[in-house]
Amino acid sequence: MAAGPVPFPQMATKAPMPFFKKPEAVFMRLFVSVLLLMLWAMPSAYAQAPNMYMGSEQQPIRIQTGSVFQQYADQDRRLSQITFPVSAFIPLTRSLAFSLYTNPALVSGEAVTSLQGLSDAQVALSYHQPLGDGSMVVSVGTNVPSGKRELTEAEFATTALVSQDFYGFYVPVLGQGLNISPGITLAFPFGDNMVGGLGFSYQLKGSFKPVENMPDSFKPGDEMMITGGFDFRLAEQWALSTNVSYVLYNTDVLGDLDVFESGNQTIAILQVLGNMGNNQARFVARYRTKAKSTLPAGNQVVTAPRTVPEQFQLIGTYNLSIQENLRATVIARVRRYNETDFFGDKTLFDVGASPEVAFSDIVSGGMRFVYTFGSFPGVEIGAGLSFVIP
């Protein structure tokens, strides 16, 4: 984990579709549709826990903390969020490590209800084991339901907006159920210039009540993710990596009723990394698509509203050394989100910079500024501290 501030992170038809004819069933459809807008952005334990770098040498303790302000003005509304991310990576032995991530948040805006509170904590254990020339990492991550749940209807509507991918808020959802995510990753060299990897994880999702006074709990479907990729050395200072992940979803259940069957998701990433002396350039292309989802409708099954846009991103960063204790990263990104049944298509451009300064061998600090323009304008401003304890 690099010195500096806490990492700045980071789920169609237009004609009406048949559902149930009873009024209460129509309300159920509307409720489920809004709920889906929120659920696709929920953090997964394996996605939010801090990265763990295990090897043959004892790793230092790493603690990061900071604050991030984001604001976006889309159509007639303005949404803002302030978050306070905290992460820790604590090696217990040379092979075993513990990590923690949490991010309290405050959301406000025009024509929306304010929302604030703790977010769910993400904790994980990781065990590293050499396997000949390769390695294996076994991990288990847990989403601890410490965040705010059982929202009012107005707070729930705010969450439905904040959870949209194209905004990119760091905390799309404050609270959900108890989730447990075991996983395994294998990596092996293939000759001198190529390394291959394969990973598998399964996320067991617990039930919870996203809206107060709900008679029944909502249980998101469990998820299984399979991922594989290769790293190639193109030249002495340049490398290329590819990665493809496939996510399969079980059925979402409300009480005893099956309410949603999600289409499976594919994510493909291509990255080129180059070192130029003390400087480093990185170029990333990322594509995500999702198969059609369905809604059970009595004895029928109908196509669900498309809530997750097909998306494509191009990202470029250049990290340069200014002085021995001062570095800066320049950021440029293009994002494209296709139309869904709830939002039009969007094309966004992000430009920014992130300077980092080392105050000592233990303490470093950083700032981040990103300006967004295109389909709507926005800004992200953050600062943080990092502590590395041998």
Beta sheet of 252-254, edge-to-edge order: 218-219, 252-254, 257-260
Does the global pTM surpass 0.85? no
Q: pLDDT category, 6, cuts 50, 70, 90?
A: very low
Mean pLDDT of 209-225: 93
Q: Is the pLDDT of residue 139 over 90?
A: yes
* Rg of the chain taking only CA atoms, in angstroms: 22
Q: Is the pLDDT of residue 297 over 80?
A: no
Q: What is the mean pLDDT of the chain?
A: 85
Amino acid, single-letter form, for residue 261: E
For residue 139, which of 182, 178, 180, 101 has the smallest C-alpha distance? 182
For residue 139, which of 183, 196, 95 has the smallest C-alpha distance? 183
Q: State the pLDDT at residue 284.
A: 97
Q: pLDDT category, 306, cuts 50, 70, 90?
A: confident
Mean pLDDT of 220-235: 94
Q: Is the pLDDT of residue 1 over 80?
A: no
Q: Is the pLDDT of residue 23 over 70?
A: no
230 touches 189 (CB < 8 A): no
Q: State the pLDDT at residue 90.
A: 95
Q: How far, in Å, are 109, 118, 337 from residue 69 at the CA level?
A: 13, 16, 23
- Rounded-to-integer distance, Cα 312 and Cα 254, Å: 32
Q: Is the pLDDT of residue 173 over 60?
A: yes
* DSSP letter (8 states) at residue 342: S
Q: State the pLDDT at residue 77.
A: 83
Mean pLDDT of 1-17: 31
336 touches 344 (CB < 8 A): no
Q: pLDDT category, 300, cuts 50, 70, 90?
A: low
Q: State the pLDDT at residue 47.
A: 36
